[in-house]
Amino acid sequence: MLRLVITSCYLCLATLSLRAQEVIASDGDYQNTAQGSLSWTLGEIVTETFSEPSGFLTQGFQQNYEALLDLSDLGPSLEFTLFPNPFHTELNLLFSKTSNEYELRVLDYQSKVIESQRLTFSAGTKEYTLDLSELGAGYYLLELTIPDTDQRIVRPIVKTH
């Protein structure tokens, strides 16, 4: 009998947990602009909504049972290949597409800027060789950003003797 009661309680709790996701929050907001929309709720780790005329995407606990119709390119992205790593004197960067201008910084692990450059490319393949022969052996960070955007990527690099 006790086993039946425990099993029944477990099934009831499991059924309740399968219901739609709901959030009890203290604050939240929804913003809509020509570029898209954003909704957020205080107390959640990550909740974003991206919207276009062809569809929208909501990330986080606010998701309803809606299908994503389309997610088009939101602009330039930071897609590149970095080689060789570890390197001895030169580091090669091969950009696959997107922006014609990048800001490049090399930082040590205390966030001190060691090298800073602005890279500008014309149409076509985007390759760049970074001469870091003056650096001492060690671990560094390579930071790339696309100017006038929030896009930034940081990759660890290793300089050998």
State the average pLDDT over residues 32-53: 67
Give domain status of residue 16, yes or no.
yes
Q: Which secondary structure element, helix H or strand E, spans residue 6, and what is its range?
A: helix 2-17
Nearest CA among 143, 140, 145 for reference residue 157: 140
Q: Which domain holds residue 23?
A: 2-59
Domain CATH number, residue 132: 2.60.40.3080
pLDDT tens for 65-95 read 445 445 555 555 667 888 999 999 999 998 8
Q: In terms of domains, do 84 and 153 share one?
A: yes
Pairwise pLDDT comparison (115 vs 47), residue with the higher score: 115
pTM of the entire predicted model: 0.52
- Contact by Cβ (8 Å): 23, 43: yes
Residues 89, 154 within the same domain: yes
The answer to whether residue 67 sits within a structural domain is no
74 falls within a domain: no
Q: Looking at the structure, do residues 51 and 96 belong to the same domain, yes or no?
A: no
Say whether both 55 and 102 belong to one domain: no
Query: Which residues contact residue 64 at a Cβ distance below 8 angstroms, ignoring those fewer than 6 apart?
Result: 20, 58
Mean pLDDT of 4-15: 71
The answer to whether residue 146 sits within a structural domain is yes
Query: Residue 13 domain-assigned?
Result: yes
